[in-house]
Structure 1
Amino acid sequence: MKTAVLVLYVVGMLGLGYFASRRTRSLGDFFLAGRNLGPWVSAFAYGTTYFSAVLFIGYAGRIGWGFGLSSLWIVVGNTIVGSLLAWLVLAQRTRRLTERLNAMTMPEFLKARYGSELLKVLAALVIFFFLVPYSASVYMGLSYLFDAVLGIPYRYALLLMAVLTGVYLLMGGYLAVSLTDAVQGMIMLFGSLFLVGYLLARPEVGGLPQAVARLSQVDPRLVSPVGPPGFWPLFGLVVLTSLGPWGLPQMVQKFYAIRNEKMVATATVVVTIFALVCTFAAYFSGSLTHLFFKEPPLVNGQADPDLLMPHLIATIMPPSFALIFLLLVFSASMSTLSSLVLVSSSAVVIDLLPPATRPRSLLLMRVFCAVFVALSLFLALSKISFIVNLMSISWGTVAGSFLAPYLYGLYWKGGNRWGALASMLSGLSVGLFGAVLFGFRSSVLPLLGSFAMLIPLGVFPVVSLVTGGGKDASVRL
């Protein structure tokens, strides 16, 4: 039964890839689906890229266990700032301005908006060096789940995901990715609802009021507004995970591809509901692990909270739901991986290769997508310490590099290339050198990533004004 469901899922994904391949004729079709996606597909594409397996496995267990119910502040931030406000503030302007500037990527937008080839090259290099290692992190959590639920070894599970993602991505590009995201988003949505409902019905939990009371008995701090680690760690996580999508190229891409500005309103509602359901299910369920386990599972004698959710699913849930949750995590992983690979490939083919290669750009995009899928698989299996460190800081560093020049570029004519360059370098420096200074300590990285995004928001206007402002800007906002 389990194998049959997985095979059916794989066949369905490949079928969508084939369908999309029949409608992919140009680079614009491959990378942006011809800027012709509807609101529901666009919303699910955003949501499934936002919430990868890292949320349902790593963050749900580690943060839910550590912070208790105060982790629900992250739900509030992700829903209101990371989803609702992101679409209200960014979507229409991005769709309008990128089409006017004929920009398909973040580096192309920065070049066209500020008239600087240097910004384009720097942006492409940031994407390449940080998003490729980050793509390896989306395999997180699959090892235990596949082995426990289906008896498939870790390496084979990763290989299956890489091959399946690579095939439908190469066949249909962003249209294939978006169509599969819509299906995977429905799986994530209903799987999340079922997860919360099942856990609340368990005798160990006994419903919502009883859950709060029992968590308070375990540790009163688990039901406090801040949680055991304190305010600043929680603040860092809320800002990092909520403001980060505003500057991540793989998230911003979703605004480029929606059919027209009128469809943004519907997409905004859908993505907000999706974010609320998925994040609440993840963090609330992670908090409830205290009612099922006294300590996190041990790995080499050390407690590993990342295994709490896989262990909960494998030992508490019935086999049928364990399979649903497996598909949920598998879907979240593939959605994020495909978006990261697509954006990373564009950084090379569209932004770094010379214009003479444009006649072969569609072929080159497919080639580099295949290369980057293989590279992400290799990095996930190798677990090289240097790569692991890059993975741990990639979200905040990339968002910190792009948030200020992108946001100000949409709304403020007074910004110029020097402000954009200074803000990019400040975000990059805070994220990268700050992590080195603090020894890549996991407790510090979320707060560091938050400052990597917030500091450039102040640097950009100051440097722009000092260097003459945007008086030479010819772009109509």
Structure 2
Amino acid sequence: MDLLILSVVVLIYLSMIGYVGYIAWKRTRSADDYMVAGRKTHPYIMALSYGATFISTAAIVGFGGTAANYGMGILWLVFLNIIVGIFIAFVFFGKRTRRMGHNLNALTFPEFLSRRFNSRFIQYFSGAIIFIGMPLYASVVLIGMARFVETTLSIDYNIALIVMAIIVAAYVTFGGIRGVMYTDALQGTIMFFGMLFLLGGIYYLLGGVTDANQALTNLVNIVPQSATAKATATGFTGWTSMPALGSPFWWTLVSSLILGVGIGVLSQPQLVVRFMTVKSNRELNRAVLIGGVFIFVTTFSAYVVGSLSNVYFFELTGLTAVQAAGGNLDKVIPTFISAAMPLWFAYLFMITLLSAAMSTLSAQVHVQGTALGHDIYETIRGEKKKGSSVVIARMGILVAVVIAVILGFILPPSIIAVGTSMWFGITAAAFLSMYVVALFWKRATKAGAIAGLVGGSLMSLFWLLFGFKKSAEAVGICQALTGKAVIITTLPWPTVDPIVMSLPIAALLTVVVSLLTKPPEKEHVDKCFAGIDANKGK
């Protein structure tokens, strides 16, 4: 380790982050500034902030390592990330969210849903889901960065975990969402070029695109042997092909990793709130191309590098990438960079991962803080004193960071991709059906929204604890009550992700209960949808 070069790189990076955070702090003067950046965000900053928040160390380290286990079938997630996470999210959801959020003067995602359906319960229940559930996602982002520092720089994992958490807590607490979005844009730019270089580097090492991909195809008889894959390897057909349709391996890849994240992105509170930070639809139109290119480069690079790392390690050691990383999927990308890349690139890529982790983590803890201060505390107590919710939000941010650090100490290996898909699935079950009808169906009622919210949340929780083997085994409640790890042991049910079970139930409850209850008042609906169908460019 070259301490001088490392110190210079880190100091320059932290100085840039500090300066951008200071500018954001200087421009944060009100609750609107703190929570929605005054609704005047530049499209480049909005797009990079959205992309950098979406693509974290969970995508680069966690899903990169998962790609080493499942192969290039995971590239379908890139397609969903762009079509659903960018095009559909910005063009169909983002424009309506921005306008309706302005009409309702909503500052957070739970408040947006609450005011759309005239329900305080929706606001504090949604806020509670975010504040209680999101620490799982925040912790796996922290873990991704800490694992890279541990592997690359031989720095203690626990120290890396704590130091990064302190840095993020500092600039989010004082700068609000301006601090988050300004630093996100800087970090997203660094991520973009870092991932491009990594992709080019692995193809260079393996003799070019054609030779590298063919070499991976030729490893068809080398079956994944990670600790998490042993129970689900049935159905593996090769590193460059999809698993056998309907096999446990297929269900894990498609339902948990591809669908869970690919669809769940639409209901991510930390992403939805960014639509409410821009001035007009024109900014969203301009942001689509920027966001699409960014998402493609970062996710495609991570998944391809993860898959191809099998070729590098097999030719070098006779082991798969996961075996070379000691069976821990979360160490595949760090191990590959340490083994294959020059030291100077390891330092620069550390900054790329630091950017990825901090951009996502900052958005997560900001949303958790506003959920506690604005959506729970202020809603339940009816507290409207100017600045009070911001104070509570800042306290919530600090609490959220502490919880994420604690989970970072106790969560098991190979947890990053699993934890990410679990959180995305939880939000889809709880929020997605309600969010869709809020934007597109004027007949939707408060009772229908609450039924979908509560029903989807409970079904998701039930399947996580009693049906989905990875989570049910870890918690142990089903084993204690029934004597079995899961209630249905017949394949493929133990590998079916909760989103497959809970999202249809939430959607059905939302629609049926809405049709069975009194339509909402026309005056309120007209206020919500004012200007949405006309003057679309404004």
Q: Same fold (TM over 0.5)?
A: yes
* 1:446 positional shift: 6.9
What is the CA–CA distance in structure 2 between the aligned matches of 1:126 and 1:433, rounded to whole Å?
15
Picking from 293, 301, 309, the partner of 1:281 is 301
* Structure 1 partner of 2:515: 465
* Structure 1 partner of 2:486: none
Q: How does 1:18-417 map to 2 (within 5 A)?
A: 18-62=22-66, 64-202=67-205, 205-219=206-220, 221-226=238-243, 230-236=249-255, 237-293=257-313, 294-297=319-322, 303-353=327-377, 354-356=381-383, 358-359=385-386, 360-383=388-411, 393-417=422-446
Residue identity opposite 1:158 in structure 2: L
User: Residue deviations 1:401-433, cap 9 Å, x none?
Assistant: 011111110111010011111111232123211
SS at match of 2:375: coil
* 1:241 positional shift: 1.3
* 1:455 positional shift: 3.6
* 1:469 positional shift: 4.1
* 1:233 positional shift: 2.9
* Structure 2 partner of 1:434: 463
User: Residue deviations 1:306-349, cap 9 Å, x none?
Assistant: 21111101111111111122111111111111111111111111
- Paired-residue identity, %: 31
Does the Cα contact within 8 Å between 1:247 and 1:398 map onto a contact in 2? yes
Q: Bigger shift: 387-396 or 4-13?
A: 387-396
Does the Cα contact within 8 Å between 2:468 and 2:497 map onto a contact in 1? no
What is the CA–CA distance in structure 2 between the aligned matches of 1:267 and 1:469, rounded to whole Å?
36
4+ runs deviating over 6 angstroms: 387-392
TM-score, structure 2 length as denominator? Answer: 0.83
What is the CA–CA distance in structure 1 between the aligned matches of 2:75 and 2:25, rounded to whole Å?
41
TM-score, structure 1 length as denominator? Answer: 0.93
What is the CA–CA distance in structure 2 between the aligned matches of 1:198 and 1:383, rounded to whole Å?
32
* 1:43 positional shift: 0.5
* Structure 1 partner of 2:227: none
User: Residue deviations 1:14-38, cap 9 Å, x none?
Assistant: 1111111111111111111111111
User: Residue deviations 1:210-232, cap 9 Å, x none?
Assistant: 12211121006222244796543
* 1:474 positional shift: 2.0
* 1:390 positional shift: 7.7
1:453 aligns with 2:503: yes
SS at match of 1:104: coil
What is the CA–CA distance in structure 2 between the aligned matches of 1:322 and 1:451, rounded to whole Å?
42
What is the CA–CA distance in structure 2 between the aligned matches of 1:115 and 1:175, rounded to whole Å?
28
Q: Closer, same or farther in 2 for the Cα pair 1:158/1:65, shift >3 Å?
A: same
Does the Cα contact within 8 Å between 2:152 and 2:338 map onto a contact in 1? yes
What is the CA–CA distance in structure 2 between the aligned matches of 1:232 and 1:380, rounded to whole Å?
27
Residue identity opposite 1:155 in structure 2: N
* 1:180 positional shift: 0.6
Q: Closer, same or farther in 2 for the Cα pair 1:390/1:179, shift >3 Å?
A: closer
User: Residue deviations 1:261-310, cap 9 Å, x none?
Assistant: 211111111111111111100111111011022234569x9622221111
SS at match of 1:265: helix
5+ long unaligned stretches in structure 1: none
